[in-house]
Structure 1
Amino acid sequence: MRRYLFGRAWQSIVTLILATIVVFIGVRALPGDPALALAGEDRDPESLRAIREQYGLDDSLLVQFWQFVSHAARGDLGVSIRTGESVTTMIANALPVTIELSILAILIASVIGVGTGVIAAVRRGGPAEWAANGLALLGLSVPNFWLGLMAILYLSVALGLFPASGFVPFLTNPIDNLHHLILPALILGTGLAAVIMRQTRSSMLDALSADYIRTAEAKGLSPREVIGRHALRNSLIVVITIVGLQLGALISGAVVTERIFALPGFGKLTVDAVFQRDYPVIQAVVLITAAAYILINLLVDLLYSVIDPRIRVRGDA
């Protein structure tokens, strides 16, 4: 197990290094000159030279990359070119919003996806399975931005059930916080719920046809015990893996949902930084997203080997 842990940790470090290089080069490949955007109307050569010198824009790419990596290793992600604010502070303010939204979306998607997946597997061939498959197909097909706009139009504007936009910190007012986040979390979790439903259904069908299920039924266990304690418990191994992987995807994929509902999370921060050619902010948000995704994948791999006792890491005794 120790050898496996070392190998996975080393792979994650190499992946993070490669992701850092790709992020740095990709940001520099964006069209436009940040010095021109920062100078505004005052674009005389002297002003542009001073701006480039102040932010190191005239240095070679190798020097800029080394400065970026060395500062990031110490927790210093630079200063925003547009606002002059610390990028670390900006991310510390935006990241909790996206994390809370993603976790809430995961919870909603898991409840809906696992529930409908179990029903579809148990009621195979009946109207319940057709309805669950139809909802899953709908959730995978409908874009989040359209579903979000429709939800705002009917549930917020027409019925007044949820706020159309805005955010309230959890510590300020927990009830109001959930009231603002429940609708965007539901929209964000729709596609994930469809994926979880399909995987749960497939895993449940495999489990229900296994020998240990027939043995449990022959022992006289009730259908609820057979499904809950045996079939579902083993089926959730795959589902947990998918949920863990999708958490990283939600953190990076919440951009559209956050923009629609005007949430001050990673989405707004990223889009604003791209439009303003704010290199330090773009680098930081993309790098942190990549690091979070790599870390979550590592934890999922490790938890998978712990959750499923049938897994034996190669080389273990």
Structure 2
Amino acid sequence: MTRYLLTRLWQSAVTVVIASIVVFWGVRQLPGDPALALAGEEATPERVAAIRADLGLDDSLLVQYGRFVGNSVRGDFGESTRTGTPVTELIGATLPVTLWLALYAIAVAVVVGVALGVVAERYRGRWPEWMANAAALVGLSVPNFWLGILAILWLAAGLGLFPASGYVPVAENPASAFYHLTLPALILGTSLAAVIMRQTRASMIETMKTDYVRTARAKGLGRGRVLMRYGLRNSMIVVVTIVGLQLGGLISGAVVTERIFALPGFGKLTLDSVFTRDYPVIQAVVLIITVGYIVINLAVDVLYSVINPRIRVGGAS
């Protein structure tokens, strides 16, 4: 197990290095000149040249990359070329919003998806399974932005059950914060809940066909007890895999949801930075998302061994 973890850590480090090169090179392929965007369209060539020199854009790409890596290792991502604010401050102010939203959405998706998956397997061929499949189909088919607009019209503006926009920091008022995040989390977690439901149902159906389940049933255990004790536990491997892969996607893909509900999150910061060619912010955002993916995947691999001991034994051998 230790050798496996060391190997995964080494692979992760190599992936981070490759990702940093791709991020650094890709950002500089964006059309437009950040110096010109900062100076304005009517700025003189001398003013633009001075800004390029201040930003270090006249240096070779190798020098710029070395400076970017060195500063990133120290946690210094520079200053925003658009506002002059340190990038770490911008990320520190916006990333918690998106993290809380993503975690809340995943919690909702896991609870709803697993519950519907269990119901669909338990009542196969009956109306509860049809209703669960219909709900999953809607969750997979309807875009989040459309669900968000409908939710604001019906649940927020119409019935007044939730606020239509706004954000309250969790540290200031947890109850109010989660109240404001409930509707965005429901919308963001809809498609993930549908995927979890379908995969949970399929995994439990396969598990209920195995020999050890038939043995448990032959010993007198009821179907419901076998379903929860064996089927649900084995299906959790699939759930952990989906959550691990989707958490990074939720963090980076919450742009639309944050726009609809006016949340000052990571997605809004990313979009604004791309529009203004803010190189330091874009580099930091993409690099953080990449590292987040790697860390989450590593954590998922470790969780496999906790959920299923056979994986731990196989990895150790």
Contact 2:306 2:312 survives alignment (8 Å): no
Offset at 1:312? 4.9
Counterpart-to-counterpart distance in 2, 1:242 and 1:47? 50
Counterpart-to-counterpart distance in 2, 1:84 and 1:63? 22
Contact 2:236 2:307 survives alignment (8 Å): no
Offset at 1:219? 2.1
Q: Which amino acid aligns with 2:179?
A: H
The match for 2:195 is 195
Deviations 1:178-235 (A, max 9, x none): 1110000000000000110011001110111112222222222233321212221122
Counterpart-to-counterpart distance in 2, 1:296 and 1:175? 27
Aligned-residue Cα RMSD (Å) equals: 1.4
Counterpart-to-counterpart distance in 2, 1:20 and 1:125? 51
Deviations 1:65-118 (A, max 9, x none): 111110000000110001100001110111111110011000000011000001
Counterpart-to-counterpart distance in 2, 1:312 and 1:182? 37
Counterpart-to-counterpart distance in 1, 2:224 and 2:315? 39
User: Structure 1 residues 106-115 or 137-146, which shifts more?
Assistant: 137-146
The match for 1:238 is 238
User: Structure 1 residues 28-37 or 215-224, which shifts more?
Assistant: 215-224
The alpha-carbon distance between structure 1 residues 149 and 206, as it changes in their structure 2 partners (threshold 3 A), is same
The match for 1:294 is 294
Offset at 1:305? 2.5
Offset at 1:314? 5.6
Q: Which amino acid aligns with 2:150?
A: M
Counterpart-to-counterpart distance in 1, 2:8 and 2:289? 19
Counterpart-to-counterpart distance in 1, 2:178 and 2:5? 38
Identity across aligned pairs (percent)?
Answer: 65
Q: Which structure 2 segments of 5+ residues have no match?
A: none
The match for 1:124 is 124
User: Structure 1 residues 157-166 or 224-233, which shifts more?
Assistant: 224-233
User: Structure 1 residues 133-142 or 103-112, which shifts more?
Assistant: 133-142
The match for 2:273 is 273
Q: Which amino acid aligns with 1:240?
A: V
The match for 1:35 is 35
Tell me the secondary structure at the aligned position of residue 310 of structure 2.
Answer: coil
Offset at 1:307? 2.1
Pair 1:251 & 2:251 matched = yes
User: Structure 1 residues 117-126 or 227-236, which shifts more?
Assistant: 227-236
The match for 1:104 is 104
Q: Which structure 1 segments of 5+ residues have no match?
A: none
Contact 1:4 1:313 survives alignment (8 Å): no
The match for 1:19 is 19
Counterpart-to-counterpart distance in 2, 1:316 and 1:110? 30
Counterpart-to-counterpart distance in 1, 2:166 and 2:46? 42
The match for 1:146 is 146
Q: Which amino acid aligns with 1:141?
A: S
TM-score, normalization by structure 2: 0.96
The match for 1:309 is 309
